[in-house]
Amino acid sequence: MVFTLYERAQEAANFIRSKCRRNPNIAVVLGSGLASFAESLSEAITIDYSEIPYFSSTTIEGHRGKLRIGHCDGVYTVAMQGRFHYYEGYSLEQVTFPIRAFKLLGIDTLVLTNAAGGINPNFNSGTLMLITDHLNLMGENALRGGNDNRFGPRFPDMTEVYTRSYRDVALQVASELAVDLEQGVYAALSGPCYETPAEVRMLRALGADAVGMSTVPEATVARHMDMKVLGISVIVNQGAGMIDKRLSHEEVLKTAEESGARLAELLNRLAPRLAVSNE
């Protein structure tokens, strides 16, 4: 028997719900090397992705492949310690499947984080960037194929993918914590190669401030289902050709882990405020 995407997402949501103490309020996706926020959740339970029906497996270092569910200052939160990527060979349906399940779990607030390369010459390694908009340069769209109206409309509006009111809250919280939070446009490419210097110049000409290999499919699917989205990039290196240095995944993880504490501090203060603003 072949089950529809909706039915598979419902089964995954039901499994996660069976492990929860109550309905979660917020879902957070943690990118490469950024898992520390999940460890700060109190009274938390941990579920391996392999246990959840139809979830894929992470194959990349820095992505632990675990779901942590616990309290963040009273807000019941689901945190993904690692995500699935298009460049791993997964379809975008598989990449975005957890977001579908979270929506059917009753979650309407999604926070997406990633480790990204800096295109804006004013961004240094370790900079936190609030995503204001994105460029989908992956050559594929997560909504391609048949549409199930139970999820959302055939042609969803993308005028405001990253919820403005959430961005305002994030900027306010960052100011209170004295955490520098830049703003910019995130470009997504398919990967897994890092960009060439010519591609970095192209991206800058197109208006990108940061580049990575994730986030856009998840944000697109979230908006399709009318979820509110906040996106934050951790700039882990400057783009190829901007500095005389070779790029490596080891450097990405090192910088992400060093910046993870500041991101976790920001997210711990943000989650309760987003929950309040969503009421």
Q: What is the DSSP string of 100-123?
A: HHHHHTT--EEEEEEEEEE-STTP
| Count of residues making up the chain | 279
**CATH label of the domain that carries residue 75:** 3.40.50.1580
Residue 237 annotated in active site: yes
pLDDT of residue 61: 59
Residue 57 annotated in active site: no
Distance CA 272, CA 247 (A): 36
Residue 114 annotated in active site: no
Distance CA 201, CA 74 (A): 45
Distance CA 89, CA 191 (A): 11
Q: Which of 219, 235, 223 is CA-nearest to residue 114? A: 235
pLDDT of residue 243: 66
Residue 202 annotated in active site: no
Segments forming the whole domain that contains residue 26:
5-277
Tokens of residue 181, six digits: 């939070």
Residue 85 annotated in active site: yes
Distance CA 150, CA 143 (A): 14
Residue 199 annotated in active site: no
> What is the CA angle 58-62-64, rounded to 5?
50
pLDDT of residue 27: 97
Residue 214 annotated in active site: yes
Its pTM surpasses 0.75:
yes
The residue annotated as part of the active site, out of 40, 114, 237, 268, is: 237
The residue annotated as part of the active site, out of 9, 13, 79, 115, is: 115
The residue annotated as part of the active site, out of 40, 120, 125, 214, is: 214
The residue annotated as part of the active site, out of 25, 35, 79, 88, is: 88
pLDDT of residue 236: 87
Residue 71 annotated in active site: no
Tokens of residue 52, six digits: 């959840």
Residue 87 annotated in active site: yes
The residue annotated as part of the active site, out of 90, 136, 182, 249, is: 249
The residue annotated as part of the active site, out of 39, 87, 93, 136, is: 87
Residue 249 annotated in active site: yes
pLDDT tens string for the chain (279 positions)?
Answer: 669 999 999 999 999 999 998 889 999 999 877 778 998 999 999 999 999 999 998 876 555 789 999 999 989 999 999 899 999 999 999 999 999 999 999 999 999 999 999 999 999 888 999 999 999 999 999 999 999 999 999 999 999 999 999 999 999 999 999 999 999 999 999 989 989 999 999 999 999 999 999 999 999 999 999 999 999 999 988 766 576 666 666 766 776 677 778 898 999 999 989 976 665
pLDDT of residue 239: 67
pLDDT of residue 79: 96
The residue annotated as part of the active site, out of 25, 32, 120, 233, is: 32
Count of the separate structural domains present in the chain: 1
The residue annotated as part of the active site, out of 36, 85, 174, 199, is: 85
Q: What are phi and psi of 219, to 5 degrees?
A: -65, -40
Distance CA 267, CA 36 (A): 11
The residue annotated as part of the active site, out of 210, 213, 227, 256, is: 213
Distance CA 111, CA 196 (A): 29
Question: Are residues 108 and 227 in contact, defined by beta-carbon separation less than 8 angstroms?
Answer: yes
Tokens of residue 78, six digits: 């689901």
